[in-house]
Amino acid sequence: MDGFINKLRSLDAYPKINEDFYRRTLSGGVITLVSSVVMLLLFISELRLYLHAVTETKLVVDTSRGETLRINFDVTFAALPCSILSLDAMDISGEQHLDVKHDIIKKRLDAHGNVIESRQDGIGAPKIEKPLQRHGGRLEHNETYCGSCYGAETSDEECCNSCEDVREAYRKKGWGMSNPDVIDQCKREGFLQRIKDEEGEGCNIYGFLEVNKVAGNFHFAPGKSFYQSGVHVHDLLAFQKDSFNISHKINRLTFGDYFPGVVNPLDGVLWTHQTPSGMYQYFIKVVPTVYTDVSGHTIQSNQFSVTEHFISAEQAHFQALPGVFFFYDLSPIKVTFTEEHISFLHFLTNVCAIIGGVFTVSGILDSFIYHGHRAIKKKMEIGKFS
């Protein structure tokens, strides 16, 4: 056993320095204290990095197919009443969602931005009291109501029981409703009166859209939309106005769910109307994003970049539809964010590197100061230092 211990002693790679060959100095003490503080600070920094997760970013080709894209929005129009504001969505696959009402909430706002009324769009209808029947007479006792579509019905059995039904029938025919007062349903429901009552009001519209994961657009514009000769148009005759103020503020716009670190560049953007009428356009590039936290939970979402453009009525020769348009396209590249902890061995390696590095640098510095001081002192003793 003694022989094995002696062999271990002979393998000692760190020879000990005899006390006769080293000397305590003031500079050595100062360097020791400074080195200890530096080592402590670097160790704390490394420990914090070890305890907190780091995010690794990768770019991969997006091979997903057949998915949908959820668009969350919250937009305030300072001078467009809720009764005339509509939302449409369409994409390059040919799918269209005209005058979207489901999952949409509208808030009427006064001139100061205070909420007057909040309602889900398209819900509720007025009580029918002896309205005009499709055949021309008035509703009688125990008779089922079937309102006229005023020539826009597609079959003899089709009924238009509300002003909205008549407008929808006109939209399908590609007709514009020039005078709602001649429509019994609109007159009974006070369509024009409601528009007049909301004159000078604003509207906050928010909700979400579920669309195909392909390029497309959605837009907020006055009037009910329809197609005429293959062109997407809005019926603005019923409002009897020459121009519309499309000043707006985007409170929130996201493509997908929130994840840590996401930046939505349009949140809080305000645009104030300067010309009589026009079309405001946002061109958006959507980048699919996958975020995975340290527990393995995955969030499928998106980031986006945006550019803006405005077309006034004068520039478009009165062909521009007044409204706010969002044109979006999807990137073929997907970004993945993965949160992970640094391994303990990596942490241990860094700690050893900190200790060894600081010891080495401080030793070099101490040796330089010590030998420099001795050389200066020796020259002073022989009178050669000046």
What is the maximum span of the chain, computed from C-alpha positions, in angstroms?
131
pLDDT of residue 323: 87
Q: Is residue 365 part of a domain?
A: yes
pLDDT digits 0-9 by tens, 234-278: 666 556 566 788 889 999 999 999 998 888 999 999 988 776 677
For residues 222 and 352, state if they share a domain.
no
For residues 114 and 211, state if they share a domain.
yes
- What would the two tokens of residue 14 be? 């760190």
For residues 326 and 353, state if they share a domain.
no
Closest CA to 69 of 278, 275, 307, 289: 289
Closest CA to 257 of 300, 210, 207, 212: 300
For residues 24 and 85, state if they share a domain.
no
For residues 308 and 284, state if they share a domain.
yes
Q: Is residue 130 part of a domain?
A: no
For residues 321 and 373, state if they share a domain.
no
Closest CA to 209 of 197, 218, 201, 200: 218
For residues 350 and 327, state if they share a domain.
no
For residues 65 and 94, state if they share a domain.
yes
Q: Is residue 142 part of a domain?
A: no
For residues 253 and 374, state if they share a domain.
no
Task: Give the whole-angstrom CA distance, residue 238 versus residue 84.
Answer: 10
pLDDT of residue 124: 40
Give the burial class of 86: count Cβ atoms within 10 A of its Cβ; 0-12 exposed, 13-18 middle, 19 or more buried: buried
Q: Is residue 8 part of a domain?
A: no
For residues 319 and 226, state if they share a domain.
yes
Q: Is residue 179 part of a domain?
A: no
For residues 271 and 356, state if they share a domain.
no
For residues 66 and 105, state if they share a domain.
yes
Q: Is residue 323 part of a domain?
A: yes
Q: Is residue 196 part of a domain?
A: no
pLDDT tens-place values along the chain, 386 residues long: 777 777 666 665 555 555 545 567 777 778 888 888 998 999 998 888 888 777 888 999 988 877 889 999 999 998 888 888 889 999 998 888 888 888 889 998 988 888 887 776 653 444 445 455 554 555 555 556 677 787 788 777 788 877 778 877 887 777 776 667 677 777 776 666 677 777 788 899 999 999 999 999 999 988 776 665 566 666 665 565 667 888 899 999 999 999 988 889 999 999 887 766 778 899 999 999 999 988 888 999 999 999 998 887 666 554 567 889 999 999 999 999 988 877 788 888 988 998 888 888 888 887 888 777 777 777 777 766 55
Structural domain count of the chain: 2
Containing structural domain, residue 33: 17-52+343-382
- What would the two tokens of residue 209 be? 């859209």
Q: Is residue 131 part of a domain?
A: no
